[in-house]
Amino acid sequence: MSVTGLTDEAPVVRLRGIGKQFVGNPVLRDVDLDLYAGEVHALVGENGAGKSTLMKILAGVHQPDSGVIEVDGREMSFASPRAAQAAGISIVHQEFNLLGDRSVAENIYLGREPVRRGQVDRKRMEADTAGLLDWLGERGISPRTLVRRLPVAQQQVVEIVKALSTDARVLAMDEPTAALADHEVELLYDLVRRLRERGIAILYVSHRLREVFDLSQRITVLKDGELVTCRPTRELTSDQLVRHMVGRPLEALFPDRADPEAPGEVQLALRGAGNERVHDIDLELRAGEIVGLAGLQGAGRSAVARAISGVQPFTEGTVELGGAAVRIRSPRTAVRRGVAYVTEDRKGEGLALRQSVRDNALLVRRAAFGRRSLGRLDLAALLRSVTVLARSEDQEVRRLSGGNQQKVVLAKWLAVEPKVLVVDEPTRGIDVGAKQTVYELLRGLAREGVAILMISSELPELIGMSDRVIVMHDGRIAGALPAGPSEEAVMALATGHELEAA
Amino acid sequence: MTGMNGTTTTTGAGRRLRLADGTAPVLAVLAVLLVALAFTGPAYSEPAGYLALLKRAAPLMILAIGQYFVIVSGGFDLSVGSLVTAEVVIAARLIDGDEAATLWVIPFVLGFGALIGLVNGLITTQLLVPSFIVTLGMLLVLDGAVFLWTGGSPRGALSESFRMVGREGFDVPLIGQLPWSVLLLTALVVAAVLFMRGGTGRMLVAIGDNQTAVRFGGGHVERVRTLAFVLSGTSAAIAAVLLGGFAGVSAQVGDGLEFRVITAVVLGGVVLGGGRGSVVAAMAGALTLEALFSLLNLLGISGGLESTVQGVIIIAAVAYASVGRSKFRTRKGTS
C-alpha cells in the first residue's frame, strides 16, 4: 500500500512499527517508512529526533527492538551492515571513510578486491570501477587517481560509488552536503537526480530544508522518536514542515530572565569577525545577559565559540573585551582576559578525567594564572555553590555522573571569575535535575554580571534560557530575535527558509 | 532548587595524607623484599646494609624522578642512559685529575644535562616528533659522539672531590656512616614531592591526562612538557655525578639505564601515556628494583639474569595496570 499514491509499485523497502531503545531510553517508537525505487525520500527532524538511528537500523548498524523490515515484500533482519548490503541497502555516511593514499578503485573495492591467481586483479578492479563511474555519468574521475588528490565533491562521488558497488538499490545518505562548499552542492544535486533516474531508492537525511524541497518526492518528519507525518513534498510548504518539526511545549524548567530595562556594559563585542569557518560576525554581549546562539549543526555556532575562546581564533574583523580591542591568539590570551569556554566535548576537552575533583576545579587557575595573580579561593565553598556531589575533593572526576562532571567544569571556570562565559551544549548528556541546576547556575552568574553566550541544539532550552537569540546559518548570522521567540521563527532563520522567501 | 544545596556532600575538610593511586602494591613488594634481604644477607641485619642499598639505588632513584616527570606528562625519555655515560666521560676528560676543575665541571655537567633535556623537549613539542623517537635519536647521537670522542676508551680521570659525593659519607652517631648520596637523594625526594604538590606539578599530570583540557584552560602545554625533559636531563646529570664517583670512569657506565629506569617507574604504578602515578611510587619502584637485584645476587643468581627479570617486571606491571585494575574498576562501577 502506497501512502500517497505517488507510485503504484510496491516499495523496495518497507519498515513497519520500528522501535528502538538505548539503555532504557526509547529513541524510536513505532515508526513506519517506505522507500520506492527512483524516489528521493527525505527524513527530517530536530537533532535527537531519531533520524540517524532509523537510518542505522535500515543499514543494519543497529537492530530494532520491535517492528519489521521488508525488502521486496520479504521480511528480513540485518545482523550487520554486511547483511543489509547483501540485501541491496547501502549507507553513505556524513564523514567519509576513504583512504587518501589509495586509488579510487582500491577504495571502492576495499576489503573485497577481485582476486586472480592469488593476486589482486587490478585490471578488473579498475575496469569495474570505470564501469560504475560511467553508469553514473561521472566522467571526470579516473579509477587510478589517489583519493586525496580529488576535491571533496568528487571524494563524495567515490563514497557513493563505493556504496553502489555492492549492487545497492537503496542508498541512505546522511547529511550529504555537510562537507561540501556551496558550489559543490549543485554537483551533488545532479548526482542524486541521476541516481533516481537509474531507479535507486534514496533515503535523504538532511537538516537543510532547501535541499529537502529541491530533491525529494516525499518527506517523513520525525520528532522525539515518533513519526509525525509522511507526505509528498509538493503537498507541504516550508512553513508547515517547520511546524511539524518543532512545536513542542516549553517546559517550565527555566529561571526568570534578566530585567530588559537594565542592560549592563558591553563585555564582548565582535565586529565583522570571521575566519575560515564563519564570516561577518557582529555580536554584542552585555554584562548580565544570556544570549542564545542558535543554528543547525555545522552552521558555525561552535566555530564562533572556539574563535572567541582562542581555540581557532578569528582572522578578520575586531574583538573587543570590556571596551578594549584585543587580539585573541590562543586560549591563554582569552582566559587571562576573562573569557571562559565550556566546550561541548566535556570528556575530550573539558576535564582531566583521571585527576581529582580538586585538581580539575583548580586546573584553569593553575594553568593560566600565576600563583599570586588571583585572590584566595575557597574551593570547598565554590564546589558547594555549583552543588557538586562527590565523595570527596580527592575523587577522580571520571567516577562522577555527567551532571556532576559538568558542574566541575563550571567550577573550574568560576574559580577564575570570568567576565564572559561561552557555553557550548552545557546540558548535553546530563539528566533533567542536573540540567535545571545548570540553568539556575547560568542565570545566577548572569545576575552577578557575567555576560553569557549559550549554544544549544535543544531549541526549547535555548529559547527558555536566552534574553536574546542570534541565529546562524551557513557560517553567518541570519538574524536576531528578542526574548522568547517561537521555535518556528528560529528554525526558519536557521534553515535559511526566510532568506529564500525574501 | 534550593533543596539541592542541602544534600551536597563535598567535604572540604579532608586533606588527609593518603597513598596516591597505584602506590600500595609497589610498597608491599618493597617491604617483602627488604624483609627477605634481612633473612638472606648478614649485612642486612644492621642499618649499614640498608644504607649501602640506598647508596647503590640512589642514582636509579634520582633518574626515576626525572623519568617520572616525562612519563606522567605523556612522554618517554630514552636518552638518559647514554646521557649518563656522556656526562661521566666528559667530566673525566675536563677534570683530568685536576681538583680545582671540579668546582666548575659539576655545574657544567648539570647544565649539559639540562641542555640535552631542553633539546629533547623542544623537538618533541615544537616539531611534534613523538618523544619516543626524539629521545631514541638522542640516545644514538650521544652514543656515537662518546665513541667518536673517546675512541672506545675514555681518557682523563675524575678528581677525588668529584668522586666524594658518590663514594663517601659522613659519620652520624647510632647509624654509622651516612653516605652523601643518600643525603642528596633525600633532598631531591623532598624537592620532587613539593614540586608535584605545586601548580606546575599538578599541570604536568593534567597534561598527561588531557592536554587539550589544559590548553583550553589557558595552560602552556609545550612549556611544561619541555620542562619535564629538562628535569629528566638534569636528573641524568646528577645520577652521572653519583655513578662516576661510585663506579668510576667507563664508557659503559650508563648502559641500559634508560630501560632500567622506565621499568622502575612502571613498577611504581606510573601509567605509560601519562596522567596517573606518584613520584614517590616511581622512586619506590627504583628502590624495589635495586633491592630485587641485591636479593638475586645474595641468592647466587647470575647477574646476567637481571635484564630478563627486568623484562618480566615491565610486562607484568603494565599488564597489571591495564587489565587488573580496569577489571576491578568495572566491577565496582561508578557511584
How do residues A323-363 score in pLDDT, each as one tens digit? 899 999 999 999 999 999 999 888 889 999 999 999 999 99
In this prediction, residue B180 has a pLDDT band, given cuts at 50, 70 and 90, of confident
Three cell numbers at B136? 631514541
Partners of A340 on chain B (C-beta within 8 Å) are: none
**More confident: A179 or A194:** A194
Partners of A353 on chain B (C-beta within 8 Å) are: 209-210
Distance CA A230, CA A470 (A): 31
CB contact under 8 A, B205 and A355: yes
Instruction: Name which of B4, B202, B335 is nearest A437 (Cβ-Cβ).
Output: B4
Highest mean pLDDT among A156-160, A467-471, B40-44, B253-257: A467-471
In this prediction, residue A2 has a pLDDT band, given cuts at 50, 70 and 90, of very low
* Torsion sign, CA atoms A158, A159, A163, A164: negative
CB atoms within 10 A of CB A487: 21
Three cell numbers at B242? 653519583
Average pLDDT, chain B: 85
In the block, residue with C-alpha cell 586546573: A363
In this prediction, residue B12 has a pLDDT band, given cuts at 50, 70 and 90, of very low
Kindly give, in sequence order, each residue whose CB lies less than 8 Å from that of residue A445, ignoring residues fewer than 6 positions away: A414, A421, A452
- Mean pLDDT, rounded, for A244-269: 73
Range name among A175-189, A299-313, A315-329, B73-87 with the lowest pLDDT average: A175-189
The beta-strand segments (E) located in chain B are 169-172, 176-179
Given a contact cutoff of 8 angstroms between Cβ atoms, the answer to whether A469 and A491 are in contact is: no
Range name among A249-253, B21-25, B30-34 with the lowest pLDDT average: A249-253
A311 touches chain B (CB under 8 A): yes
In this prediction, residue B11 has a pLDDT band, given cuts at 50, 70 and 90, of very low
**How would you class A183 by CB atoms within 10 Å of its CB: exposed for 0-12, middle for 13-18, buried for 19 or more?**
exposed
Closest CA of chain B from A310, distance in Å: 8
Distance CA B122, CA B16 (A): 38
- Mean pLDDT, rounded, for A293-311: 91
CA atoms within 13 A on the CB side of B240: 38
Beta strand A89-92 with A74-76 is: unpaired
Q: Is A117 left (phi over 0), alpha (psi -120 to 50) or beta?
A: left
pLDDT of residue B16: 45
Contacts by A195-198, CB closer than 8 A, 24 or more apart:
A195/A136, A195/A160, A195/A171, A196/A38, A196/A39, A196/A40, A197/A38, A198/A38, A198/A135, A198/A136
A329 touches chain B (CB under 8 A): no
- Mean pLDDT, rounded, for A100-127: 88
Distance CA B26, CA B15 (A): 23
Distance CA A290, CA A298 (A): 22
Report helix, strand and coil shares of chain A as percent, to nearest 5.
35, 25, 40
Closest CA of chain A from B123, distance in Å: 21
pLDDT of residue B248: 80
- Mean pLDDT, rounded, for A228-242: 86
CB contact under 8 A, A367 and B212: no
The contact set of B with A (CB < 8 A) is 1, 4-5, 7-14, 18, 199-200, 202-203, 205-206, 209-210, 212-220, 275-276, 334-335
Instruction: Name which of B10, B200, B210 is nearest A384 (Cβ-Cβ).
Output: B10
In the predicted structure, residue A8 carries a pLDDT above the cut 80: no
Average pLDDT, chain A: 87
CB contact under 8 A, B217 and A331: yes
| Domains of chain B from N-terminus onward | 2-334 (1.10.3470)
Given a contact cutoff of 8 angstroms between Cβ atoms, the answer to whether B137 and B77 are in contact is: no
Partners of B22 on chain A (C-beta within 8 Å) are: none
CB atoms within 10 A of CB B30: 19
Closest CA of chain B from A330, distance in Å: 8
Distance CA B318, CA B270 (A): 9
pLDDT of residue B324: 59
Nearest to B86 by CA among B53, B57, B108, B62: B108
**How would you class B138 by CB atoms within 10 Å of its CB: exposed for 0-12, middle for 13-18, buried for 19 or more?**
buried
pLDDT of residue B278: 92
Closest CA of chain A from B3, distance in Å: 11
Total residues belonging to chain A: 502
Report helix, strand and coil shares of chain B as percent, to nearest 5.
75, 0, 25
In the block, residue with C-alpha cell 565550556: A342
In the predicted structure, residue B226 carries a pLDDT above the cut 70: yes
Question: A97 to each of A195, A263, B121, how far by Cα in Å?
Answer: 21, 49, 35
pLDDT of residue A458: 79
In the predicted structure, residue B74 carries a pLDDT above the cut 90: yes
